[in-house]
Amino acid sequence: MGPRRSRKTELLKAAEQLFADRGYHGATIRDITAAAKVPLGLATYHFGSKEGLYEAVLRRREPELISSLDGSLSQLLKRKPEPTTDELIEAFLTPHVRLVHADEGWRNYMRILYQLAGFDDRNRRGALLFESFQEVMGRYVAVLGQTLPGCDPVQIRRSLILVRMLQISFSAEGLGGRAAFDSDRLPLNLLPAVVRFCAAGFRAALGPEAVANVAMTVPAESKLQRRAS
């Protein structure tokens, strides 16, 4: 069973890399199994189809990201029971940035999400961007609702989704406006600016009520930046 699980893992790693590099339609099962150095039929055996393999690639990293997002919010609330909008946005963005800088596989994952957002058949596959995140998104929306009294929770959720789409774009593209490799990805010391940018966009998407109700307090130095220095 050990070698079989190992070959399945190699398939997922190879698929993640090739889907990130070539897109869903550009990466073939033959390419992926060749890169993983496994028999062609093993992909069908484990995942049933190319689409099944694609979904497995995306689902593989979701539990860790969801746990990190949940933990980030819990730590913030423990430290500050009544956080500002900017601090909540920072808590939401920081796990994404930390993971992307820690592991090339996470960068590939974000590149795949970025591609997924532009699929012509995104109504079918686009659910993969958000389905599993509904519960943790709900926690952030609830706390943001307390911070922004009078704002519609539905609009808060939509605005938070826009923040996530911005974050995916920042993670997938480098400063040169292309797919982010090590030499071109967003540096950690720009995280405070990203937080300010996303928080401002979040409030603007909500409308005048958010601007009127929010004290625009931005942490001078993010926790992630302090750990990186």
Task: Dump pLDDT digits (tens) for 18-46.
Answer: 999 998 889 999 999 999 999 999 999 99
Contact between 167 and 198 (Cβ < 8 Å) = yes
81 vs 102: CA distance, rounded Å = 29
Q: Which residue has the higher pLDDT, 228 or 199?
A: 199
Task: Look at residue 73 and give its three-state secondary structure.
Answer: helix
**pLDDT reading at 119 higher than 60:** yes
H helices then E strands: how many in the chain? Answer: 12, 0
SS (H, E, C) 181-222: CCCCCCCHHHHHHHHHHHHHHHHHHHCHHHHHHCCCCCCCCC
**Dihedral angle computed from the Cα positions of residues 65, 158, 225 and 72, in that order, rounded to the nearest 10 degrees:** -50
**pLDDT reading at 77 higher than 50:** yes
Confidence of residue 191 (pLDDT cuts 50, 70, 90): confident
**pLDDT reading at 215 higher than 50:** no
User: Which runs of consecutive H residues, i.e. helices, occur in 118-178?
Assistant: 122-125, 134-147, 153-172
The encoded tokens of residue 187 equal 């540096």
Among the listed ranges 2-11, 75-84, 89-98, 176-185, which one has the minimum average pLDDT value?
A: 176-185
| CATH fold group of domain 1-48 | Arc Repressor Mutant, subunit A (1.10.10)
| CATH fold group of domain 61-228 | Tetracycline Repressor; domain 2 (1.10.357)
196 vs 192: CA distance, rounded Å = 6
**Residue 177: per-residue pLDDT:** 43
What ranges do the domains of the chain cover? 1-48, 61-228
38 vs 40: CA distance, rounded Å = 6
Confidence of residue 179 (pLDDT cuts 50, 70, 90): very low
In this prediction the pTM is 0.81
Task: Look at residue 173 and give its three-state secondary structure.
Answer: strand
167 vs 107: CA distance, rounded Å = 12
Within 13 Å and on the Cβ side, how many CA atoms surround 170?
Answer: 23
